[in-house]
Structure 1
Amino acid sequence: MDEIHPFTENELEAAYLVWKTKDERLADILLVLGWTGLRWGEARAMQVASLMEVPTAALMVRRSQPEGSPVKATKGRSIRRVPLGNRVLPIVRELARGKAPHDLLFTTSGGAQLWRSASLRLLDWARRDDAGNSIGTGRGRRLHDLRHTAACLWLARRIDPGTVQAWCGHESIATTNRYLHYLGTGADKAGLGRLNEGVSDDSGAAGGPLGP
């Protein structure tokens, strides 16, 4: 897995508000990607019929269409079910409204299939200043980091790693565990809390054994 640079949940929401000023439909789609972990090619090929609400709200990921390629099976050639949390379920319902089952679910405001370069240009995703610093709405990230965002968001909310593996479609749990290493485990956080007991967060000791 490449180096990851996910959004935190708060960063994702802040970026979403900025994206909406550029293109509301694309902003909605990127927010869905940040909560579902869909790959860009999977989102491009997703049909309305893949939206399920029984027994739980989810998208069935069956197809992928990388740009310049025909529709094909997903990576690993397996079908997976990705949950739709309450944050994005109303958005997906609205994207599906008025469409036939075999229509594309994620389309531009004009109803066209998604294209990466056009979408990122509309959102001003990768703009840089004269010094080369990233000042675009993507905040220095790649589009694929939205997939990493979803995995980290799920794990941060204590979803079992095995479940996250299934939702992401990882062939190996080792791939999923990379996100755990990035986030730190619950044991790490609990241990840090104990380590910091009695010590202020400005590096000044508050009666600890190493304090003045």
Structure 2
Amino acid sequence: MTIRKEPSGRFRAVLKSGRTYVAGRTFDTKREATAWLNRERAALSGGVDPRAGRETVAKLLPIWLEERKDSVSAKTYVADRALPRLVPTNLAALSIGSVTDREVTRTLIHLTRRGLAESSVRRFRASLSTFFAWAVRERLILLNPVTPTRVPKAASPKVEMYPFNEAELDAFVARAAERDHRLAEVMLIAGWTGLRWSELRAVRVRDLVEVPMPMLVVERAEPEGVAAKASKSGKGRRVPLAGKVLPLVRSMAADRAPDEPLFTTVTGHRLHATAVKRTLNWSSTAGGRRIHDLRHTAACLWLARGVDPVTVQAWMGHASIATTNIYLHHLGTGADRAGLARLNGPGHAGGTRERHDEVEN
């Protein structure tokens, strides 16, 4: 292990294993050279060969993806597969051993400024962290440079839920029925069951049970473009069917095989969000809502009808009651309603006007 001063005035650090040359770098100061040499020596002692870290990020990403293909779910692999496309050229060209948290942070800021949603940047960071964790496991590097970083806050406002109330849902379904009666019924069912779109696509005829009460058994999800998998929570749940939609569900299940999809188009084809929106002229009929807002609608309808929040949590498949409480906050608490009643109570609004009149006189 040596550090020598070059004729240029810079300092050259050389790392050897016995008599074998391993790595070398030149620095402006002796302190930087010593720090680098100490880190590389510690890595070498820990079984990490600095020579392995010279491979570029761009060259190693395909190797990681090939190993990743058979070890994760199809949906996760789709997200990971986007990594080579999203990694900036300057980061991809770096040797993996030279990437620090500074380069990763710059990349996260770059993606945010490009307009990617915060959730997409978080997904990118998760995939990138998994890639570098693989590199640590393969003894290519000593530490994961993504671990100390954070996703920057997006400048654009977060998309809030925008559920229908019961009258708005009925009006939306009526407008949708003018374009496609069957899809309108599916939207109504979604608005009263709270199923995610991927869960709605995955429900089979056999998942409609009548005993001890009419319910849908939700055990799987089928996101578009990937194979069926367990639902988001990883646990099955049962969602009771309100009388408003029960006849529709029974009609859709009548005279059909148990393994057939329960919710389809009128021609029996699978549901696809883009086609559904196009058929229903979604931008005009839905009043600014997303399909996912039908799930929010169900939770709000249940709570407005007096269903206990813990029961709503179970029907929605929420892991935490805190998630369910978001809907209570959206609807307004008992304190909100009591306060509004006092504002609108006898004498309050009129009393204010009377006092104003007295001041003017």
Q: Normalising by structure 2, what TM-score? A: 0.53
Residue 247 of structure 2 corresponds to residue 99 of structure 1 = no
Output the CA distance in 2 between the equivalents of 1:106 and 1:142.
19
- The answer as to whether partners of 1:47 and 1:103 remain within 8 angstroms in 2 is yes
Structure 1 residue matching 2:285: 3-state secondary structure: coil
Query: How far apart are residue 29 of structure 1 and its match?
Result: 0.2
Structure 1 residue matching 2:282: 3-state secondary structure: coil
Identity percentage over the alignment? 55
Output the CA distance in 1 between the equivalents of 2:323 and 2:355.
41
Residue 171 of structure 2 corresponds to residue 23 of structure 1 = no
User: Deviation digits for residues 41-91 of structure 1, max 9, x if unmatched?
Assistant: 101010011111111111010111000010110001100011100000001
Aligned to 1:48: 205
Aligned to 2:290: 142
- The answer as to whether partners of 1:155 and 1:180 remain within 8 angstroms in 2 is yes
Aligned to 1:133: none
Change in CA separation of 1:37 and 1:210 when aligned onto 2, cut-off 3 Å: farther
Aligned to 2:277: 120
Aligned to 2:323: 175
Q: Which runs of 5+ in 2 are unaligned?
A: 1-157, 357-361
Output the CA distance in 1 between the equivalents of 2:248 and 2:159.
29
Q: Which runs of 5+ in 1 are unaligned?
A: 127-135
Query: How far apart are residue 194 of structure 1 and its match?
Result: 3.1
- The answer as to whether partners of 1:198 and 1:208 remain within 8 angstroms in 2 is no
Higher relative contact order (Cα pairs below 8 Å, separated by 6+ residues): 1
Output the CA distance in 2 between the equivalents of 1:186 and 1:150.
20
Larger Rg belongs to: 2
Query: How far apart are residue 206 of structure 1 and its match?
Result: 2.5
The structure carrying a bigger helix percent of its residues is 2
Aligned to 1:3: 160
The aligned length equals 199
Output the CA distance in 2 between the equivalents of 1:33 and 1:211.
51
Output the CA distance in 2 between the equivalents of 1:175 and 1:2.
16
Aligned with residue 57 of structure 1, among 214, 226, 232? 214
Structure 1 residue matching 2:178: 3-state secondary structure: helix
Aligned to 2:350: 206
Query: How far apart are residue 188 of structure 1 and its match?
Result: 2.2
Q: Name the amino acid aligned to 2:278.
A: R
Query: How far apart are residue 209 of structure 1 and its match?
Result: 9.7
Q: Normalising by structure 1, what TM-score? A: 0.89
Aligned with residue 266 of structure 2, among 95, 105, 109? 109
Change in CA separation of 1:210 and 1:49 when aligned onto 2, cut-off 3 Å: farther
Aligned with residue 85 of structure 1, among 214, 231, 242? 242
Output the CA distance in 1 between the equivalents of 2:325 and 2:212.
28
Of residues 186-195 and 170-179 in structure 1, the stretch that sits farther from structure 2 once superposed is: 186-195
Q: CA RMSD in A?
A: 1.7
